[in-house]
Structure 1
Amino acid sequence: MIVAVLGAGQRGRDIAQRCVRAGHDVRLRGRDATAVMDRIDEIERALGETGDRDRVDGTTGLESAVSGADIVVDATERDTDGHRELVAETETMVGEDVLLAVGEPTVSVTAVATGLRAPDRAVGLHLVDPPDGDTVEVVIAEQTTGRTRDRAVDFVESLGATPIVVRDTPGFAAMRLELATVAEAIRMVEEGVASVREIDRAFERDGAGGHGAPERRRGPLARADRLGLETVLSGLRDLSERLDARFEPPELLRRKVEDGQIGAATGEGFYVWENGEPTTGADPDPKVPTRDESDIR
């Protein structure tokens, strides 16, 4: 199967890497040739010494990327109008049987599909815990037909991943659950319920009988630091505007972002990070006092 991945950012790289690992031929398209080659180099390093490295190619041309493709995944970073325009332009260059997928979890697939002549072939694909997570959300727009859904599910299964079919709503399922968990964990730090490390221990989850990916074994505060607290803040703001106050960003999160403490990238967020790993909890890191440690008067 030939997969065209539009977008040479982190999301595009992760999708391309997963497809190549599954044995699909991938064309990665970006506007900047240097960025495209950098992403391909990253994919090849992640794959190691395998024959799969020959399955990925790069281009800056849209038509050269999508020509002959079986599925096109729009993994670019743009607003709804931008995605609608790109997918509509892509439709003019591909056959009638090509799936058109949107990989951006913050835009409505239904809104993007309105720009298509055949909106029934539009679907959303959202990798959960990329690049090697074992779950992919298949997002069903209002226009998506059963045939398109089934083909998208088959594609996800071809990646060796588990498809989760969800309705096209803000945040879909995985993002809403993740951000809700992160927000509650941050509020627990604000309220002094427990230390940063202890809160994460209460939420940590493991996969595949104890052999899940490291990111999945980390708690929500560590995962938030790895994702980037500015990204978490943006996601919560978006959901609070499109849904309700349940997703209102905690004040502590706002302060950390304002202070430049955005997580692993800067070495400090809710943890202090060294060599890519969380060490101690960063300030504030509440300690739960015992009776003899309290200032009792």
Structure 2
Amino acid sequence: MDVAVLGATGTGRAVVGHFAGAGHAVRLYDDDASAVMDAIDDAEREYGVDATESVDGTTGLESAVGGADLVVDAGDDPERDRRERLAAAEELIDRETLVAVGDPRTSVTAVAAGLRRPDRAVGIHVVDDDASVVEVVVADATTADARDRAVEIVEDLGATPVVVGDAPGLASARLELAAVVEAIRLVEEGVAAVEDVDAAMERGRGRERGPLARADEMGLDRVLEGLDDLTDRLDGRFEPPGLLREKVADGDLGVRTGTGFYEWEDGERAGPADPNPGVEVRSAAPENPDEL
């Protein structure tokens, strides 16, 4: 399969790495030649691909998308510019070419609005670094054929496809952040200790890391940024707890700084950080049961 990637961004680099790593021919487009070469070098280093075998770089839109089976817009510029770029690309591609938006911060429906055939537009959003899970986003005009072809492409990458509607943020990220918010509130309100909150998920739900440990691994500043973004675009469900804002303001960002909700040593939890409330209990039973 021939894949055209539009945008030498972090998202573009990841798309190049995952598709080239799966054996597909990839062409990376950007109007900045230096950015293209740097992104290809980064993809080689981060994803172990041999760019000489499967990746070409170009500053020409026609040379990038001509003959492509899949065009992925990976830009991080304003929505209007991305809509215009895909509309220009559509004039140069075959009728059956699938068009995808790679940035989960952007509405697929809005970007595809400039296409003559928005029915072929989907979102392809990589959830994790190893691309084990990829969300296939169905926009307002997406047909069943386009959805099914996108699912097949994701499966060909060796990933698990998750079909979702066109809504703000990654669905999987929203689920994880919702768990993080509630976990922080339990600590903030003194309902449970840090380790007990995580134990409920790690042992009770079979997860390797509980929500507070995962927040530390993601970086509390990134967690706060994600929650603020979802709060702006959705509602109060994702309002960041005050305790999270305090930790970020104090520079306690998790694994990266050695302290978050846990103290960390060499990437391993060394114990809970403050605050770490315990559940209050009586020191002893009253001598007179009537005092209860």
The two structures share one fold, judged by TM-score above 0.5: yes
Measured after TM superposition, the shift of residue 179 of structure 1 is 1.6
* Residue aligning to 1:213: none
8 A Cα contact 1:15 1:131, kept in partner = no
Structure 1 residues 92 and 163, CA gap change in structure 2 (3 angstroms): same
Measured after TM superposition, the shift of residue 105 of structure 1 is 1.5
Structure 1 residues 25 and 221, CA gap change in structure 2 (3 angstroms): farther
Measured after TM superposition, the shift of residue 17 of structure 1 is 2.0
Partner amino acid for 1:93?
L
* Residue aligning to 1:20: 20
* Residue aligning to 2:139: 141
* Higher gyration radius (CA): 2
Q: Distance in 1 between matches of 2:78 and 2:164?
A: 21
* Residue aligning to 1:242: 233
* Residues 21-170 of structure 1 mapped to structure 2, 5 A cutoff: 21-30=21-30, 32-48=32-48, 54-128=53-127, 130-170=128-168
* Residue aligning to 2:2: 2
8 A Cα contact 1:81 1:112, kept in partner = yes
Q: Deviations over 1:258-282 (max 9, x none)?
A: 3343344444433444545554444
* Residue aligning to 1:285: 276
- The farther-off stretch of 265-274 and 185-194 is 265-274
What stretches of structure 2 of length at least 5 have no aligned partner?
A: 285-292
Q: Distance in 2 between matches of 1:96 and 1:235?
A: 37
Q: Count matched residues.
A: 284
Q: Per the alignment, in what secondary structure is the counterpart of residue 217 of structure 1? A: coil
Q: Deviations over 1:235-289 (max 9, x none)?
A: 3233223332112121122223333433444444334445455544443333456
8 A Cα contact 2:121 2:146, kept in partner = yes
8 A Cα contact 1:139 1:172, kept in partner = no
What stretches of structure 1 of length at least 5 have no aligned partner?
A: 211-215
Partner amino acid for 1:247?
F
Partner amino acid for 1:4?
A
| Aligned-residue identity in percent | 59
Q: Distance in 1 between matches of 2:272 and 2:29?
A: 40
* Residue aligning to 2:288: none
* Residues 174-185 of structure 1 mapped to structure 2, 5 A cutoff: 174-185=172-183
Structure 1 residues 13 and 281, CA gap change in structure 2 (3 angstroms): farther
8 A Cα contact 2:44 2:50, kept in partner = no
8 A Cα contact 2:65 2:89, kept in partner = yes
8 A Cα contact 1:270 1:283, kept in partner = yes
Question: Considering only aligned residues, what root-mean-square deviation do their CA atoms show, in Å?
Answer: 3.2
Q: Distance in 2 between matches of 1:196 and 1:272?
A: 11
Measured after TM superposition, the shift of residue 124 of structure 1 is 0.7
Q: Deviations over 1:91-143 (max 9, x none)?
A: 23322222111122122211111111211111111112x22142211111111
- The farther-off stretch of 76-85 and 95-104 is 76-85
Structure 1 residues 253 and 176, CA gap change in structure 2 (3 angstroms): same
Measured after TM superposition, the shift of residue 88 of structure 1 is 2.3
8 A Cα contact 2:194 2:277, kept in partner = yes
Q: Distance in 2 between matches of 1:56 and 1:223?
A: 34
Structure 1 residues 165 and 261, CA gap change in structure 2 (3 angstroms): same
